[in-house]
Amino acid sequence: MPAKYIFHNFDIKEEKIWLQYNGTEIYFAEELVKAGVSHQDIVIGFHSPFMRQFTEYALNNE
């Protein structure tokens, strides 16, 4: 049975943290940066590759 409530989803691919889904009001990318993770090690996976170019985070176009 699939999970009914998913609040956030992260993956680690090719040494980068991919934020795949965020159903909360917490901006996890900024929380990771505050914890010492580089912007270039974070991919906002729920943005299209085109939209990622306008953020300060990694592109990692697949």
> Residue 1 above 60 pLDDT?
no
Q: Which amino acid is at 30?
A: E
pLDDT digits (tens, 9 = 90+) for 18-60: 999 988 888 999 999 999 999 999 999 999 989 988 999 998 7
Which sequence spans correspond to the domains of the chain?
15-62
Taking the C-alpha atoms of residue 10 and residue 12, their distance in angstroms, rounded to an integer, is 7
Using alpha carbons, list the distances in angstroms from residue 29 to 25, 36, 56, 58. 12, 11, 10, 11
Which DSSP letter does residue 31 get?
H
> Residue 3 above 70 pLDDT?
no
Q: Supply the pLDDT for residue 25.
A: 87
Task: Fold for 15-62, please state it.
Answer: TATA-Binding Protein (3.30.310)
Is there a contact between 16 and 31 (Cβ–Cβ < 8 Å)? no
Taking the C-alpha atoms of residue 2 and residue 47, their distance in angstroms, rounded to an integer, is 24
